[in-house]
């Protein structure tokens, strides 16, 4: 059964305890998951790969409970159609006091997993599309108003444009502004440009482009020529994540039409002429499953960096070198 994200509070958890969240809006997904697990103690996170490698134990662990068990929340991340048989098996069981959330990336209409959740009246399917600029503008307005921070609409628009429909990215940038103004310091447009990285960092862009193009020698030269520090690591990770998402869409298009020139010319937003050649290299270096895996890894890397900020430059350097030497498109 398909519902909108804002209808989640209207479902009956005793009937609808199998939920599919799919789509690109990770920020909205995370907000809703946080609301679901709030005040819950028995929360279990799995990766699809873990589940598939030991399906029997996974199902047994879910269904086994004692008299003192709290309600179980099961979250299966990075899900694809491969998980469908497991879900069909669970759907045939009695799932008292158990809520299972299947978190997937974008699923095409032909997806068997998506079709199962859409057609079954006892399961919930929620698509999470990117936020519109209007939605992000409202979120930014409410955030800033609640903290009595005044910045121009043009600055807000610049930040929104950078966030590519991702409210999580928007809040990350707004939190930087909030932190900057905590001591009562007034904030200027120039300050905003600096702290939200709206001023293009060419060395970072070059590093990211060559990482995705797997130009090993160029990467090493860039790392040697630029004195990147721990504070640069979040910017590098975010830039690599955003560019990877764009390349994923281009790779999908290229795999469909088999024409690199058509893929480049049809890209939206248009690719700047000076970036076309390296973008072609990037498209040819990756397959969909490989770059999806890279995107998931980058999310984990960002969490690791935040927890180990003093050693973050080593984490991101090792990661970039590892990716550049890994053969993805074979």
Instruction: Report how far residue 258's alpha carbon sits from residue 267's, in angstroms, rounded to the nearest whole number.
Output: 14
**Interval 235-258 mean pLDDT:** 90
- Tokens describing residue 115: 């079709």
**Residue 100: predicted pLDDT:** 95
What is residue 272's predicted lDDT score, i.e. its pLDDT?
A: 80
Q: Where is pLDDT greater, at 198 or 143? A: 143
Task: Please report, to the nearest 10 degrees, the dihedral formed by the alpha carbons of residues 228, 232, 236, 242 taken in order.
Answer: -160
- pLDDT band of residue 179 (cuts 50, 70, 90) is confident
274: helix, coil or strand? Answer: helix
Given this model, what pLDDT does residue 270 score? 81
Place of tokens 């409970």: 65
Each residue of 8-39: pLDDT tens digit?
888 887 788 899 999 988 889 989 999 898 88
pLDDT at 202: 55
| Domains defined along the chain, listed by start | 5-128 (3.40.50.12060), 136-195 (no CATH), 202-325 (1.20.272.10)
Within the chain, residue ranges assigned H as helices are: 26-37, 48-53, 55-63, 84-91, 112-119, 133-146, 153-163, 167-180, 189-195, 202-212, 216-225, 233-257, 260-265, 276-285, 288-307, 312-325
pLDDT surpasses 70 at 178: yes
pLDDT-derived band at 185 (thresholds 50, 70, 90) equals low
Mean pLDDT of 229-247: 85
* Helix (H/G/I), strand (E/B), else coil: 326: coil
Mean pLDDT of 41-58: 91
For the stretch 69-116, pLDDT in tens is 678 899 999 999 999 999 999 998 888 889 999 999 889 999 999 999
Mean of the per-residue pLDDT values for the chain? 86
Torsional sign, CA 110, 112, 117, 122: positive
pLDDT at residue 252 above 70?
yes
* Position 200 pLDDT exceeds 60: no
Q: Are 170 and 159 in contact (CB under 8 A)?
A: yes
For residues 219-240, give the mean pLDDT: 82
Calculate the dihedral angle through the C-alpha atoms of 291, 133, 21, 2, rounding to the nearest 10 degrees: -130
Q: How many other CB atoms sit within 10 Å of the CB of residue 12? A: 7
Transcribe 33-97 into DSSP letters.
HHHHHTT--EEEEEEHHHHHHTHHHHHHHHH---TTPPPEEEEEEEE-GGGHHHHHHHHTS--TT
Average pLDDT over residues 274-294: 92
Query: pTM here?
Result: 0.60
* pLDDT > 70? residue 68: no
List the structure tokens of 279.
């973008």
What pLDDT sits at residue 291?
Answer: 92
Q: Are 201 and 60 in contact (CB under 8 A)?
A: no
């Amino acid at each position: 059964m398909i519902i909108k994200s804002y209808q989640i509070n209207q479902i009956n958890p005793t009937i609808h305890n199998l939920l599919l969240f799919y789509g690109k809006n990770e920020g909205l997904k995370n907000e809703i998951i946080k609301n679901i697990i709030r005040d819950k103690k028995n929360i279990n996170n799995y990766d699809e790969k873990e589940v598939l490698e030991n399906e029997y134990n996974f199902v047994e662990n879910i269904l086994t409970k004692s008299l003192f068990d709290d309600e179980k929340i099961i979250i299966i991340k990075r899900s694809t159609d491969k998980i469908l048989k497991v879900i069909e098996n669970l759907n045939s069981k009695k799932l008292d006091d158990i809520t299972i959330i299947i978190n997937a990336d974008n699923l095409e209409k032909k997806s068997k997993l998506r079709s199962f959740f859409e057609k079954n009246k006892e399961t919930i399917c929620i698509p999470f599309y990117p936020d519109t600029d209007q939605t992000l503008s409202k979120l930014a307005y409410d955030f800033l108003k609640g903290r009595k921070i005044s910045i121009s609409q043009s600055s807000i628009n610049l930040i929104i444009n950078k966030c590519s429909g991702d409210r999580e990215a928007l809040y990350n940038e707004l939190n930087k502004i909030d932190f900057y103004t905590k001591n009562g310091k007034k904030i200027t447009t120039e300050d905003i440009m600096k702290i939200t990285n709206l001023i293009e960092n060419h060395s970072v862009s070059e590093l990211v482009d060559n990482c995705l193009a797997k130009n090993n020698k160029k990467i090493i030269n860039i790392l040697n020529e630029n004195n990147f520090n721990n504070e640069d690591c979040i910017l590098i990770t975010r830039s690599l994540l955003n560019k990877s998402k764009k390349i994923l869409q281009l790779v999908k298009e290229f795999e469909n039409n088999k024409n690199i020139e058509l893929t480049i010319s049809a890209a939206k937003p248009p690719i700047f002429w000076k970036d076309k050649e390296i973008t072609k290299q990037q498209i040819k270096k990756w397959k969909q499953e490989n770059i999806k895996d890279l995107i998931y890894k980058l999310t984990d890397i960002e969490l690791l960096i935040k927890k180990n900020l003093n050693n973050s430059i080593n984490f991101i350097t090792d990661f970039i070198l590892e990716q550049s030497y890994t053969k993805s498109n074979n």
